[in-house]
Amino acid sequence: MSLAPELLQAIKEAIANGDIDLNLNAVSTTRSPFRPRQLHNLTLLPTKDDPRPTFFWSVEGPRNDAEASKTHPYPRLLWHADGTEIRVENAGEHRAKVAEGYLEVAPGTVELDQAAQIKAMLEALSPADRALVIDGNKKARIAAAIEGMAALSDADVDAVIASLEQGKAKKSA
Protein backbone atom coordinates (compact mmCIF):
# COMPACT_ATOMS: atom_id res chain seq x y z
CA MET A 1 0.00 0.00 0.00
CA SER A 2 1.44 3.33 -0.99
CA LEU A 3 0.30 6.73 0.14
CA ALA A 4 0.01 9.72 -2.12
CA PRO A 5 2.69 12.41 -1.53
CA GLU A 6 -0.02 14.93 -0.63
CA LEU A 7 -1.41 12.66 2.07
CA LEU A 8 2.05 12.05 3.52
CA GLN A 9 2.66 15.80 3.65
CA ALA A 10 -0.69 16.33 5.45
CA ILE A 11 0.21 13.64 8.04
CA LYS A 12 3.64 15.25 8.66
CA GLU A 13 2.02 18.64 9.21
CA ALA A 14 -0.56 17.15 11.63
CA ILE A 15 2.21 15.49 13.65
CA ALA A 16 4.21 18.72 13.74
CA ASN A 17 1.16 20.72 14.91
CA GLY A 18 0.38 18.15 17.65
CA ASP A 19 -2.94 17.11 16.13
CA ILE A 20 -1.84 13.47 16.08
CA ASP A 21 -0.46 11.77 19.20
CA LEU A 22 2.20 9.18 18.42
CA ASN A 23 2.27 7.83 22.02
CA LEU A 24 0.84 4.39 21.30
CA ASN A 25 0.92 3.33 24.98
CA ALA A 26 -1.41 6.11 26.07
CA VAL A 27 -5.12 5.35 26.40
CA SER A 28 -7.15 7.36 23.98
CA THR A 29 -10.01 9.13 25.67
CA THR A 30 -11.35 10.55 22.43
CA ARG A 31 -12.37 7.18 21.04
CA SER A 32 -14.89 6.15 23.67
CA PRO A 33 -15.50 8.82 26.25
CA PHE A 34 -17.68 8.21 29.25
CA ARG A 35 -20.47 10.66 29.60
CA PRO A 36 -21.04 12.02 33.12
CA ARG A 37 -24.41 10.31 33.46
CA GLN A 38 -22.77 6.93 32.81
CA LEU A 39 -20.43 7.38 35.72
CA HIS A 40 -23.33 7.84 38.14
CA ASN A 41 -26.08 5.66 36.70
CA LEU A 42 -24.86 2.15 35.90
CA THR A 43 -28.29 0.93 34.87
CA LEU A 44 -28.37 2.87 31.60
CA LEU A 45 -28.97 0.69 28.57
CA PRO A 46 -27.04 1.20 25.35
CA THR A 47 -28.75 2.88 22.41
CA LYS A 48 -27.80 3.13 18.76
CA ASP A 49 -26.27 6.54 19.44
CA ASP A 50 -24.76 5.62 22.81
CA PRO A 51 -23.38 2.05 22.66
CA ARG A 52 -21.58 2.26 25.96
CA PRO A 53 -20.81 -0.65 28.28
CA THR A 54 -23.50 -1.55 30.74
CA PHE A 55 -23.17 -3.16 34.15
CA PHE A 56 -25.68 -5.72 35.36
CA TRP A 57 -25.58 -7.20 38.86
CA SER A 58 -26.08 -10.92 38.74
CA VAL A 59 -25.36 -14.03 40.77
CA GLU A 60 -24.89 -16.01 37.58
CA GLY A 61 -21.46 -16.30 36.07
CA PRO A 62 -20.67 -16.07 32.41
CA ARG A 63 -22.29 -18.80 30.33
CA ASN A 64 -19.03 -19.76 28.68
CA ASP A 65 -17.11 -20.27 31.94
CA ALA A 66 -17.12 -24.05 32.36
CA GLU A 67 -14.96 -23.92 35.49
CA ALA A 68 -17.46 -21.72 37.35
CA SER A 69 -20.17 -24.40 37.21
CA LYS A 70 -17.97 -27.27 38.44
CA THR A 71 -18.07 -28.35 42.05
CA HIS A 72 -15.01 -29.68 43.82
CA PRO A 73 -15.54 -31.87 46.92
CA TYR A 74 -11.97 -31.44 48.15
CA PRO A 75 -10.42 -29.92 50.17
CA ARG A 76 -13.05 -30.27 52.89
CA LEU A 77 -13.28 -30.12 56.66
CA LEU A 78 -13.83 -32.95 59.13
CA TRP A 79 -14.37 -32.74 62.89
CA HIS A 80 -13.48 -35.04 65.75
CA ALA A 81 -15.99 -35.51 68.59
CA ASP A 82 -13.78 -33.40 70.85
CA GLY A 83 -14.14 -30.46 68.42
CA THR A 84 -10.79 -30.79 66.63
CA GLU A 85 -11.11 -29.62 63.04
CA ILE A 86 -8.93 -31.02 60.23
CA ARG A 87 -8.75 -30.53 56.48
CA VAL A 88 -8.61 -33.48 54.07
CA GLU A 89 -7.37 -33.14 50.50
CA ASN A 90 -8.68 -36.28 48.76
CA ALA A 91 -11.16 -39.15 48.97
CA GLY A 92 -8.67 -41.69 50.37
CA GLU A 93 -7.68 -39.43 53.23
CA HIS A 94 -11.38 -38.66 53.83
CA ARG A 95 -12.30 -42.35 54.14
CA ALA A 96 -9.37 -42.98 56.50
CA LYS A 97 -10.30 -40.10 58.80
CA VAL A 98 -14.00 -41.06 58.86
CA ALA A 99 -12.94 -44.60 59.83
CA GLU A 100 -10.95 -43.06 62.71
CA GLY A 101 -14.12 -41.41 64.01
CA TYR A 102 -14.08 -37.98 62.38
CA LEU A 103 -17.47 -36.46 61.50
CA GLU A 104 -18.52 -34.65 58.32
CA VAL A 105 -20.44 -32.04 60.31
CA ALA A 106 -19.33 -29.99 63.28
CA PRO A 107 -20.13 -31.71 66.60
CA GLY A 108 -22.18 -28.75 67.82
CA THR A 109 -24.56 -29.09 64.88
CA VAL A 110 -25.11 -32.86 65.12
CA GLU A 111 -28.50 -33.81 66.48
CA LEU A 112 -28.42 -37.21 68.12
CA ASP A 113 -31.51 -39.37 68.28
CA GLN A 114 -33.17 -39.83 71.65
CA ALA A 115 -31.60 -43.24 72.33
CA ALA A 116 -28.09 -41.89 71.67
CA GLN A 117 -28.74 -38.90 73.94
CA ILE A 118 -29.95 -41.15 76.78
CA LYS A 119 -26.95 -43.47 76.31
CA ALA A 120 -24.61 -40.48 76.59
CA MET A 121 -26.42 -39.35 79.75
CA LEU A 122 -26.18 -42.82 81.31
CA GLU A 123 -22.48 -43.09 80.47
CA ALA A 124 -21.90 -39.85 82.38
CA LEU A 125 -23.42 -41.36 85.56
CA SER A 126 -21.72 -43.57 88.14
CA PRO A 127 -22.60 -47.29 88.06
CA ALA A 128 -24.80 -46.96 91.19
CA ASP A 129 -26.71 -44.00 89.74
CA ARG A 130 -27.04 -45.79 86.41
CA ALA A 131 -28.60 -48.84 88.14
CA LEU A 132 -30.99 -46.52 90.02
CA VAL A 133 -32.12 -44.88 86.75
CA ILE A 134 -32.65 -48.26 85.06
CA ASP A 135 -34.63 -49.56 88.05
CA GLY A 136 -36.78 -46.41 88.05
CA ASN A 137 -37.41 -46.87 84.33
CA LYS A 138 -38.60 -50.44 84.89
CA LYS A 139 -40.97 -49.28 87.68
CA ALA A 140 -42.34 -46.53 85.43
CA ARG A 141 -43.01 -49.03 82.62
CA ILE A 142 -44.78 -51.37 85.07
CA ALA A 143 -46.92 -48.49 86.33
CA ALA A 144 -47.80 -47.49 82.74
CA ALA A 145 -48.76 -51.09 81.88
CA ILE A 146 -50.97 -51.28 85.01
CA GLU A 147 -52.71 -48.02 84.09
CA GLY A 148 -53.19 -49.18 80.51
CA MET A 149 -54.71 -52.49 81.55
CA ALA A 150 -56.99 -50.73 84.04
CA ALA A 151 -58.52 -48.80 81.14
CA LEU A 152 -59.33 -52.02 79.21
CA SER A 153 -62.55 -53.98 79.51
CA ASP A 154 -62.55 -57.46 81.09
CA ALA A 155 -62.81 -59.14 77.67
CA ASP A 156 -59.82 -57.16 76.34
CA VAL A 157 -57.75 -58.02 79.43
CA ASP A 158 -58.58 -61.74 78.95
CA ALA A 159 -57.56 -61.50 75.26
CA VAL A 160 -54.22 -59.85 76.15
CA ILE A 161 -53.47 -62.49 78.79
CA ALA A 162 -54.40 -65.30 76.36
CA SER A 163 -52.09 -63.90 73.64
CA LEU A 164 -49.23 -63.62 76.16
CA GLU A 165 -49.72 -67.24 77.23
CA GLN A 166 -49.72 -68.36 73.58
CA GLY A 167 -46.48 -66.43 72.99
CA LYS A 168 -44.92 -68.05 76.06
CA ALA A 169 -45.98 -71.52 74.81
CA LYS A 170 -44.39 -70.85 71.38
CA LYS A 171 -41.10 -69.76 72.96
CA SER A 172 -40.87 -72.86 75.15
CA ALA A 173 -41.62 -75.22 72.23
Q: Read off the pLDDT band of 128 (50, 70, 90).
A: very high
Rounded alpha-carbon distances, angstroms, from residue 40 to 35, 36, 37, 52, 109: 9, 7, 5, 14, 46
What pLDDT is attached to residue 95? 93
What pLDDT is attached to residue 54? 58
What pLDDT is attached to residue 36? 65
Higher pLDDT, 2 or 143: 143
Higher pLDDT, 72 or 1: 72
E strand spans, the chain: 76-79, 85-88
Question: Which own/partner pairs from 154-163 qualify as long-range (CB within 8 Å, at least 24 positions apart)?
Answer: none
Give the tens place of pLDDT for each residue, 130-171: 999 999 999 999 999 999 999 999 999 899 899 888 887 777
Give the tens place of pLDDT for each residue, 70-94: 788 889 999 887 888 999 999 999 9
Q: Give this prediction's pTM.
A: 0.35
Calpha distance 138→21 (Å, rounded): 98
Higher pLDDT, 80 or 111: 80
Q: Of 123, 121, 116, 86, give the one whose Cα is nearest residue 103.
A: 86
3-state SS of 3-34?
Answer: CCHHHHHHHHHHHHHCCCCCCCCCCCCCCCCC
DSSP character at residue 103: B
Give the tens place of pLDDT for each residue, 11-65: 888 888 877 766 655 544 444 555 666 666 766 677 777 766 656 667 776 667 7
Q: How many CB atoms lie within 10 A of CB 44?
A: 15
